[in-house]
């Protein structure tokens, strides 16, 4: 299995430190507001990686953090007249609701900065003792960046270049503008903890070094996070951890690309910061997941409204086919163990999935393989004849079993097919402003006209419905209708 490592800029063979055990840490959400679609992508990506590694037989421990002490949280809590920790607790609950609604596999441990204060203090003291950190008169503690020779190895920049183009706050008592805060003294009205340096709270970067060390150990296999965290956050994590333990911190640095929405960077001021909650009002959770997984996790993506529509169409096709498969299997007594048709593709599904997923979790390719599979199935059903229906049913049954196993790893195609397609049809019928009764009435009129051999009227009804976005399908069992836009 190969995974792209931001540290080396290469796809590398994945070899865990400890046999089959994989230690993975991914930076989570700073909880000061409802989470948006960018947070969802990141959570989906690292859950996908953990789930896939498990599918490949690894024993994964996946840790994800919540930053629940931070400037933004304190500011927001103050505006609302709430205690910062109570406020972030509420926000974590809301985030958990959203992630559960998206059916994202939970991390094995979800850590919070506020629950690791003692360990943070111990870590910071250790850095001071080793000369990698210093305390100022006002009770702040800074990391002495130039003391860590390898600083910049992840972002591939040297310290002096970093100073260009980065806004450096010239806090009092800092030895060097590049130094960053490990511990911040409390300003009046701010939440604080007692420490050897006075009342204060941790800086942001230190929490991840401390939580990774306490939950996973000194060296971890995979460290993930959004690409915007490479510098300074991950660079600082490396500096802290490696100075403290004297060991290599993470073997593979994995970064999830950033999201734009309809060509614009997501921002509250632009009014295009799509929250998970709002997205779920518009789309089935699987549609959102499908959009995210259809893009490679490492690439920056521009998500257009059309991407969701396209995902709806694809899933509609897949679920309709699954419904058809179930029907065919029932009717012709399919059995996954029975005799199959000659060109049965069921055995290649898993193989192809592993082949692309082992190549840096190429979900884009895994999803596009689905078309080939479903096209094959539809063709098989269409061309089935009296002589081979049972074999076709057996084949389809085996394929369905494989598709569910493999794509279930990505959390896809697990819903009830009829419920999914009905829900989508309902949404689109409302969108085109028609009522089911109206369509059925029209179909009845057309049937009547055909009975009377009035083909002109029958054709005009079909044309009229087509104009309104409804397509008709004459089958042996009668006329069915569907939404044009979903094809
Ligand atoms: Zn972090």
**DSSP character at residue 114:** G
Q: Which among 440, 477, 474 is positioned nearest to 455, based on CA atoms?
A: 474
Report pLDDT for 172.
Answer: 78
Task: State mean pLDDT over 54-59.
Answer: 98
Q: Could you tell me the distance, in angstroms and rounded to a whole number, from the CA of residue 210 to the centre of ligand 1?
A: 10
Q: Which among 308, 346, 262, 335 is positioned nearest to 424, based on CA atoms?
A: 308
Q: Could you tell me the distance, in angstroms and rounded to a whole number, from the CA of residue 242 to the centre of ligand 1?
A: 15
Fold (CATH) for 305-418: 1.20.120
Q: Could you tell me the distance, in angstroms and rounded to a whole number, from the CA of residue 465 to the centre of ligand 1?
A: 55
Report pLDDT for 168.
Answer: 63
Q: Could you tell me the distance, in angstroms and rounded to a whole number, from the CA of residue 245 to the centre of ligand 1?
A: 17
Q: Which helix (H) or strand (E) holds 253?
A: strand 250-256
Fold (CATH) for 2-256: Rossmann fold (3.40.50)
Banded model confidence at residue 169, pLDDT cuts 50, 70, 90: low
Bridge partner residues of 142 (DSSP): 134, 181
Report pLDDT for 479.
Answer: 94
Q: Could you tell me the distance, in angstroms and rounded to a whole number, from the CA of residue 208 to the centre of ligand 1?
A: 5
- pTM of the full structure: 0.95
Cis amide leading into 398 (omega within 30)? no
Please, where are the H alpha helices in 65-203? 71-80, 84-101, 117-129, 159-163
Quick: pLDDT tens for 398-449: 999 999 999 999 999 999 999 999 999 999 999 999 999 999 999 999 999 9
Q: Could you tell me the distance, in angstroms and rounded to a whole number, from the CA of residue 25 to the centre of ligand 1?
A: 9
Show the tokens assigned to 9: 């800029």
Q: Could you tell me the distance, in angstroms and rounded to a whole number, from the CA of residue 233 to the centre of ligand 1?
A: 6
CA distances in angstroms from 22 to 19, 56, 209, listed in the order given: 8, 12, 18
Q: Could you tell me the distance, in angstroms and rounded to a whole number, from the CA of residue 26 to the centre of ligand 1?
A: 7
Q: Could you tell me the distance, in angstroms and rounded to a whole number, from the CA of residue 46 to the centre of ligand 1?
A: 14
Domain residue limits, the chain = 2-256, 305-418, 432-486
Quick: pLDDT tens for 317-370: 999 999 999 999 999 999 999 999 988 999 999 999 999 999 999 999 999 999
Q: Could you tell me the distance, in angstroms and rounded to a whole number, from the CA of residue 241 to the centre of ligand 1?
A: 12
Q: Could you tell me the distance, in angstroms and rounded to a whole number, from the CA of residue 109 to the centre of ligand 1?
A: 14
Show the tokens assigned to 19: 């046999």
Q: Could you tell me the distance, in angstroms and rounded to a whole number, from the CA of residue 42 to the centre of ligand 1?
A: 13
Q: Could you tell me the distance, in angstroms and rounded to a whole number, from the CA of residue 414 to the centre of ligand 1?
A: 32
Q: What percent of the chain has pLDDT over 90?
A: 90
Report pLDDT for 264.
Answer: 85
Sequence-separated (6 or more) residues with CB below 8 Å from residue 461: 442, 443, 445, 446, 449
Q: Could you tell me the distance, in angstroms and rounded to a whole number, from the CA of residue 29 to the centre of ligand 1?
A: 9
Quick: pLDDT tens for 447-487: 999 999 999 999 999 999 999 999 999 988 899 999 999 99
User: From CA 219, how far away is CA 298, in angstroms rounded?
Assistant: 23
Q: Could you tell me the distance, in angstroms and rounded to a whole number, from the CA of residue 234 to the centre of ligand 1?
A: 7
Show the tokens assigned to 313: 């169409």
Q: Could you tell me the distance, in angstroms and rounded to a whole number, from the CA of residue 396 to the centre of ligand 1?
A: 46
């Amino acid at each position: 299995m190969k995974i792209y490592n931001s540290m080396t800029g290469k796809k590398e063979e994945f070899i865990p430190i400890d046999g089959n055990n994989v230690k993975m840490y991914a930076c989570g959400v700073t909880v000061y507001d409802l989470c948006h679609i960018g947070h969802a992508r990141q959570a989906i990506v690292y859950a996908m990686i953990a789930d896939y590694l498990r599918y490949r037989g690894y024993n994964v421990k996946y840790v994800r953090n919540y930053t629940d002490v931070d400037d933004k949280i304190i500011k927001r809590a103050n505006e609302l007249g709430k205690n910062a920790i109570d406020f972030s607790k509420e926000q974590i609950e809301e985030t958990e609701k959203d992630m559960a609604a998206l059916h994202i596999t939970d991390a094995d441990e979800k850590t919070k900065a506020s629950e690791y204060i003692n360990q943070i203090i111990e870590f910071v003291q250790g850095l001071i003792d080793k000369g990698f950190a210093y305390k100022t008169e006002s009770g702040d503690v800074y990391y002495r960046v130039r003391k860590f020779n390898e600083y910049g190895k992840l972002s591939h920049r040297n310290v002096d270049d970093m100073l260009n183009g980065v806004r450096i706050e010239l806090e009092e008592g800092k030895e060097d503008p590049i130094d960053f805060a490990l511990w911040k003294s409390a300003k009046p009205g701010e939440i604080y903890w007692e420490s050897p340096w006075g009342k204060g709270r941790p800086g942001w970067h230190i929490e991840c070094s401390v939580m990774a060390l306490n939950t996973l150990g000194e060296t971890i296999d995979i460290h993930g996070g959004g690409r915007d965290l490479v510098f300074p956050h991950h660079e600082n994590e490396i500096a802290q951890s490696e100075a403290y333990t004297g060991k290599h911190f993470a073997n593979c640095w994995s970064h999830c690309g950033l999201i734009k929405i309809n060509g614009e960077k997501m921002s509250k001021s632009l009014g295009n910061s799509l929250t998970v909650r709002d997205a779920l009002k518009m789309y089935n959770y699987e549609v959102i997941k499908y959009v995210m997984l259809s893009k490679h996790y490492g690439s920056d993506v521009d998500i257009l409204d059309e991407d969701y529509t396209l995902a709806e169409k694809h899933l509609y096709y897949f679920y309709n086919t699954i419904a058809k498969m179930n029907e065919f299997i029932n009717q012709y007594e399919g059995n996954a163990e029975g005799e199959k048709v000659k060109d049965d593709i069921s055995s290649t599904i898993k193989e192809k999935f592993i082949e692309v997923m082992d190549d840096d979790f190429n979900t884009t390719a895994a999803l596009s393989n689905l078309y080939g599979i479903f096209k094959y199935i539809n063709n098989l059903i269409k061309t089935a004849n009296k002589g081979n229906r049972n074999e076709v049913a057996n084949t389809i049954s085996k394929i369905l079993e494989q598709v569910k196993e493999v794509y279930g790893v990505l959390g896809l195609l697990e819903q009830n097919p009829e419920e999914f397609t009905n829900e989508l049809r309902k949404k689109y019928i409302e969108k085109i402003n028609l009522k089911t009764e109206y369509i059925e009435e029209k179909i009845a009129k057309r049937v009547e006209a055909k009975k009377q051999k009035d083909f002109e009227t029958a054709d005009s009804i079909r044309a009229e419905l087509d104009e309104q976005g409804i397509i008709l399908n004459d089958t042996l069992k009668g006329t069915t209708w569907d939404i044009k836009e979903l094809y």
